[in-house]
Homo-oligomer: A and B are copies of this chain.
Amino acid sequence: MKKRVSLIAIGDELLSGKIRDENLFYAVNKLTSLGIEVVEERIIGDDEKSIISALKSASSVADFVLVSGGLGPTEDDRTRRAVSKLLKKKLILKKDVLKALSERFEKRGLPMPLSNRNQALFPEGAKVIPNPVGTAPGFSVRYKKSQIFFLPGVPSEFKIMLEDVIKRIGKGKSLRTKRFRIFGIPESGIADKLNGFSDLFKECKIAFLPSFPENIVDISVLSRDEKRAEKIINEAGEWIKERIGDFIYSEGETLPEVIGKLLREMGFKIATAESCTGGLVSSLITDVPGSSDYFKGGIVSYWYEAKSNLLGVDSEFLEKNGAVNERVAIDMAEGALKALNVDIALSTTGILGPGKGGEREEVGTLFAGIAWKGGELSKKFFFPLGDRRAKKIIFSYFALDSLRRFLLSEKRMRDSKEVIEKAKKEGIAFIKKCRNGKNPLFFFITANPPTRAHREILIEAVKTYPHDEVVVMLDIYHADKSVEEASLEERMEMLRIAFDGVPNLSIGISSKGLFVEKLDLIREVWKSEKITFLAGMDTMVRILSPAFYQDPDLAFKKLFENSGFIVAERKDMDEKKIEEIFRERNLERYLNKIKVLKIPSSLKDISSTEVRERIKRNEPVSDLLPQGVEEFIRERKLYKG
């Protein structure tokens, strides 16, 4: 049965308009996120009559009544007396509580004021709720069919003791929670991505807390079995992380704190160059204690004059083209990089409104720039909603989040260097292992670059033939090192971006060319599981070519007896074609190991080669690539030849 809770806050000061209740708001959030229904909230004055009448009426509609406040030593104990009258039970002094109270005062070298004795008085039969942080313990009593809990009104004490009450409401269950802080997608977008959560994790409650300009998703499990609660919350957490991907910027820390950590890890010193955000970006960065370790300073260049004098932005260009464009964003960041002698600089230039101030772009447009010792990039954002202050905040977050993503890429690329070396030596290595699936699907790609087809074929394959783990492997055997291609670290990063948000994803690197060799190495990790490879039809044809093997028959036997293939159609290569080839090679006995994946014809034309050629010809490629990959290539100026 669903628990119904009624909340009461006691305190004249709460009805004076001077102090706002925080406890009930906190409690309603917490309780509803656990699936406990709050049927009423009430704020009443500190007098016996009001207290008695509120307790009566609350307990008539709820299974549990939770009362905040009215337990302080100076409050003349009206709450205690009201409860005593309501229950017709006298107040008795609990000696152990009194002892603990006076010891508390002793420790601080203070005599205990007489009034604090009141705090050891409880209606006969009440259960004491210990207060780990303050003087006043809480208590609980039964009244008619309800359980009533009394907690002190001091918010820090109330919040901690609420956990105790929640356990009592849940009868000895323990609570596990996780928080995800998300920036860059609206609440509705998050809800879409997490569709199905409640069916999959029935015991796990989920709560969305919009907290402009970000979103917070809290999940919690209340269970008698601590280990079980832990397991569920972890699985639910992983499920959410897979679906929201890099939009989750932390599980608790603020965005500037996350950036601070990344800067420390990379050993980078940073500076800012701000126009429209007017100093808010640097102010956010310096909200973090210790930020002076990595933040050297910033320049707020509001006027063109300041942009050219302090940051070296070309003043003729500004006069002609205005300040809100990619070029100025980049020049500002480069100006700050030099002027402040740092490793990385972040810039903002945009239009807050209400007026456009002669700029060409619309109100709500922002360009954020990043310059570092190896290059520079810029990103465009558009957010026309809200007032000037709201736009300033979200613009600052856009810029900071761009920086976070850049630093994350840099850090991952640095970290993947080691894994690549390991793969070169040992043939195989892993970046991320989501689990040991019973039925894993392997997808080897050279990721030079990974295309929209790669991502969609993988998703289609899992939809058509379910697998409990998806292992995308960067294939570096084929990595020839011509100048116009991306480095292995860059490919690894593009691969991660391309498959961001794919459920049950593991990522690895392989340096072996032949699928029989790959199979051997995979077998060392997935010992007895059913191995399946996902491959394009052209790859399948190459696998079947006898020229690659000393003893083709043996090789094919080993490969097909120990693994299966999902083969994606390509242009001019359909199911019939593959059967034909198997027959030609006298391998039709293995055809039962082959499943053909039909894919939309629009995907069949997409190839990494096509992407590279278009980029060389300065043609758009956004139709060929996952959005993040296209951005990465553009920002890092890859494949320009």
Contact indicator B50/A45 (Cβ below 8 Å): no
Q: Which of chain B's residues have a CB closer than 8 A to the CB of A305?
A: 296, 340-341
Contact indicator B289/A297 (Cβ below 8 Å): no
- Cβ of A303 to closest chain B Cβ, rounded Å: 4
Q: Is A25 an interface position by the 8 A CB rule?
A: yes
Q: Please report the C-alpha to C-alpha distance between residue A54 and residue B58 in the assembled complex, in whole angstroms.
A: 10
Q: Which of chain B's residues have a CB closer than 8 A to the CB of A303?
A: 292, 296-297
Q: Please report the C-alpha to C-alpha distance between residue A7 and residue B16 in the assembled complex, in whole angstroms.
A: 13
Q: Is A302 an interface position by the 8 A CB rule?
A: yes
Contact indicator A279/B289 (Cβ below 8 Å): no
Q: Please report the C-alpha to C-alpha distance between residue A370 and residue B153 in the assembled complex, in whole angstroms.
A: 45
Q: Choose among B44, B57, B299 the residue that contacts A53 (Cβ–Cβ < 8 A).
A: B57
Contact indicator A50/B40 (Cβ below 8 Å): yes
- Which residues 264-318 of A sit at the B interface, judged by CB distance below 8 A? 271-272, 274, 277-283, 285-287, 289-292, 295-303, 305-306, 309-310
14 new A-B contacts, CB < 8 A, other than A17-B29, A42-B43, are: A17-B207, A18-B210, A57-B57, A274-B279, A278-B286, A279-B279, A286-B302, A296-B305, A297-B300, A297-B301, A297-B303, A309-B340, A310-B339, A310-B340
Q: Please report the C-alpha to C-alpha distance between residue A641 and residue B282 in the assembled complex, in whole angstroms.
A: 43
Contact indicator B283/A277 (Cβ below 8 Å): yes
Contact indicator B279/A300 (Cβ below 8 Å): yes
Q: Choose among B15, B37, B39 the residue that contacts A39 (Cβ–Cβ < 8 A).
A: B15
Q: Please report the C-alpha to C-alpha distance between residue A299 and residue B41 in the assembled complex, in whole angstroms.
A: 49
Task: Sort A-B residue pairs by CB-CB distance and give the 6 closest, nearest first.
Answer: A278-B286, A279-B279, A279-B282, A297-B306, A17-B29, A298-B300
Q: Choose among B20, B209, B353 the residue that contacts A25 (Cβ–Cβ < 8 A).
A: B20
| 20 residue pairs A–B, Cβ–Cβ below 8 Å | A14-B41, A15-B28, A16-B28, A17-B28, A17-B38, A40-B44, A42-B42, A272-B300, A274-B279, A277-B283, A278-B295, A279-B281, A279-B282, A279-B283, A286-B302, A287-B388, A289-B353, A292-B357, A297-B303, A305-B340
User: By CB atoms of chain B within 10 A, which of A17, A208, A280, A301 has the most?
Assistant: A17
| CB nearest to A269 among chain B residues | B303
Q: Is A93 an interface position by the 8 A CB rule?
A: no
Q: Please report the C-alpha to C-alpha distance between residue A349 and residue B341 in the assembled complex, in whole angstroms.
A: 21
Q: Is A33 an interface position by the 8 A CB rule?
A: yes
Q: Please report the C-alpha to C-alpha distance between residue A42 and residue B228 in the assembled complex, in whole angstroms.
A: 38
- Cβ of A394 to closest chain B Cβ, rounded Å: 14
Q: Please report the C-alpha to C-alpha distance between residue A17 and residue B25 in the assembled complex, in whole angstroms.
A: 7
Contact indicator A61/B57 (Cβ below 8 Å): no
Contact indicator B45/A43 (Cβ below 8 Å): no
Q: Which of chain B's residues have a CB closer than 8 A to the CB of A272?
A: 279, 300
Q: Please report the C-alpha to C-alpha distance between residue A127 and residue B309 in the assembled complex, in whole angstroms.
A: 66
Q: Is A196 an interface position by the 8 A CB rule?
A: no
Contact indicator B300/A282 (Cβ below 8 Å): yes
- Cβ of A119 to closest chain B Cβ, rounded Å: 26
Contact indicator A53/B43 (Cβ below 8 Å): no
Q: Is A385 an interface position by the 8 A CB rule?
A: no
Q: Which of chain B's residues have a CB closer than 8 A to the CB of A274?
A: 279
Q: Which of chain B's residues have a CB closer than 8 A to the CB of A591?
A: none
Q: Is A160 an interface position by the 8 A CB rule?
A: no
Q: Which of chain B's residues have a CB closer than 8 A to the CB of A14?
A: 41
Q: Please report the C-alpha to C-alpha distance between residue A296 and residue B307 in the assembled complex, in whole angstroms.
A: 10
State whether A41 and B40 are in contact (beta carbons under 8 Å apart), knowing that A17-B32, A302-B292 are contacts in the complex.
Answer: no
Q: Please report the C-alpha to C-alpha distance between residue A25 and residue B15 in the assembled complex, in whole angstroms.
A: 9
Q: Is A31 an interface position by the 8 A CB rule?
A: yes
